[in-house]
């Protein structure tokens, strides 16, 4: 039995398409559990899923979707080109594998990490443009791109990515990169919005959650939405999946928003894009 999907706002992309602002993340969902977890998320009402070649769980996402009976046009599927596949022929092969796993169509395909310490980001972006022209890949974007990486694409005369998926949470607001994206008309997707669980130990967020009578998770996710970013929390727990969808019947005041942003202390939950070059 599938729950009615809540009214989730759409964010306009610079290629004329529109993406649901709230979805479901699948990092650290083990491949063996993914079909079950994504099935539970579909039942909770999620229709937008974020996966990646790096996560090794695209097959499970695809199986859950195929078994769900949810019409494909009601879904949004994002996946990401892995770090070891930036070179053209490897990228084309990896894209074919992702398409096969995900049922033949990708809504949004991202360059997962820039690897700018080794490669010219313009080269992988040219490959992404080719993929979009020649494959059932509707929109292309980037992830973990710095302002310098974005500038390199425009200097090379290439198209503007639709989105930049970057770390953003109360401890690492990432506002300089968000501003660079806004200047270029690039939508921001906020990864690890809950700082991979660190927000739950925060006394100030606990106090605010008691004040507004919402969970800490709901308060933080609402903060992300009111900042205008796209977000896809991960949970393997059906009750928490449902809770993370219930974000559209309350609002944070400007003062409450500012108090969350003031928690920024520069602590990342994940790697720094200027140095991360893992190639699995």
Ligand X SMILES: O=C(O)C(=O)[C@@H](O)[C@H](O)C(=O)CO
Ligand Y SMILES: NC(=O)C1=CN([C@@H]2O[C@H](COP(=O)(O)OP(=O)(O)OC[C@H]3O[C@@H](n4cnc5c(N)ncnc54)[C@H](OP(=O)(O)O)[C@@H]3O)[C@@H](O)[C@H]2O)C=CC1
Specify the residue, 152 or 167, whose C-beta has the smaller distance to ligand Y: 167
Output phi, psi for 216, to 5 deg.
Answer: -60, -40
Q: How far is the CB of 39 from ligand Y (least distance, A)?
A: 15
According to CB under 6 A, which residues from 40 to 79 bind ligand X? 52, 54
Q: By the criterion CB under 6 A, which residues form the site for ligand Y?
A: 25-28, 50, 112, 143-144, 165, 191-197, 200, 215, 217, 232-237, 240, 243-244, 270
206 binds, among ligand Y, ligand X, none (CB under 5 to 8 A by kind): none
Specify the residue, 52 or 205, whose C-beta has the smaller distance to ligand X: 52
Is the Cα dihedral 40, 108, 15, 113 positive or negative?
A: positive
Q: How far is the CB of 112 from ligand X (least distance, A)?
A: 6
Q: Are 109 and 128 in contact (CB under 8 A)?
A: yes
Residue 172 DSSP one-character state = B
Q: Is 112 annotated as a binding residue?
A: yes
Cross-strand partners of 231? 22, 190
Residues contacting 226, CB < 8 A, separation 6+: 251, 252, 257
According to CB under 6 A, which residues from 111 to 140 bind ligand X? 112
Is the Cα dihedral 161, 162, 168, 172 positive or negative?
A: positive
According to CB under 6 A, which residues from 240 to 279 bind ligand X? 270-271
Specify the residue, 254 or 260, whose C-beta has the smaller distance to ligand Y: 260
Q: How far is the CB of 157 from ligand Y (least distance, A)?
A: 26
Place of tokens 């479901």: 24
DSSP 85-136: G-SHHHHHHHHHHHHHHTTS-EEEEEE----TTTS-HHHHHHHHHHHHHHSS
Specify the residue, 21 or 192, whose C-beta has the smaller distance to ligand X: 192
According to CB under 6 A, which residues from 145 to 184 bind ligand X? none
Q: How far is the CB of 280 from ligand X (least distance, A)?
A: 8
Q: Which of 268, 238, 261, 249 is nearest to 41 (CA)?
A: 238
Based on the shown chain and the rule CB under 6 A, indicate whether residue 200 belongs to the binding site for ligand X. no
How many residues touch ligand X under the rule CB under 6 A: the total is 6
Catalytic residue among 46, 55, 109, 171: 55
Q: How far is the CB of 82 from ligand X (least distance, A)?
A: 9
Q: How many CB atoms lie within 10 A of CB 100?
A: 12
83 binds, among ligand Y, ligand X, none (CB under 5 to 8 A by kind): none
Known active-site residue 55: yes
At 260, list the tokens.
Answer: 């969350």
Please give the annotated binding residues for substrate, written as ranges: 112
Q: Which residues are catalytic?
A: 55
């Amino acid at each position: 039995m599938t729950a009615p999907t809540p009214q989730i706002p759409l964010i306009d992309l610079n290629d004329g398409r529109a993406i649901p602002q709230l979805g479901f993340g699948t990092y650290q969902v083990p491949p063996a559990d993914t079909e079950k977890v994504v099935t539970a998320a579909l039942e909770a009402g999620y229709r937008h899923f974020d996966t990646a070649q790096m996560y090794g769980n695209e097959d499970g996402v695809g199986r859950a979707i195929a078994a769900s009976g949810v019409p494909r046009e009601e879904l949004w599927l994002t996946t990401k080109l892995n770090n070891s596949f930036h070179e053209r022929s490897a990228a084309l092969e990896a894209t074919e594998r992702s398409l096969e796993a995900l049922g033949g169509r990708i809504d949004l395909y991202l360059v997962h990490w820039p690897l700018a310490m080794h490669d010219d980001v313009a080269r992988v972006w040219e490959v992404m443009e080719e993929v979009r022209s020649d494959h059932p890949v509707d929109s292309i974007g980037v992830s973990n791109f710095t302002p310098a990486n974005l500038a390199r694409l425009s200097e090379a005369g290439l198209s503007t990515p639709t989105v930049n998926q970057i770390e953003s949470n109360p401890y690492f607001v990432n506002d300089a990169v968000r501003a660079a994206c806004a200047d270029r008309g690039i939508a921001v997707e906020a990864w690890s919005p809950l700082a991979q669980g660190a927000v739950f130990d925060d006394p100030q967020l606990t106090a605010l959650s008691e004040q507004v009578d919402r969970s800490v998770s709901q308060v933080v996710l609402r903060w992300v939405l009111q900042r205008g970013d796209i977000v896809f929390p991960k949970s393997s727990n059906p009750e928490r999946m449902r809770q993370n969808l219930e974000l559209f019947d309350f609002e944070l005041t400007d003062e409450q928003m500012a108090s969350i942003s003031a928690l920024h202390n520069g602590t990342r939950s994940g790697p720094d894009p200027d140095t991360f070059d893992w190639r699995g």
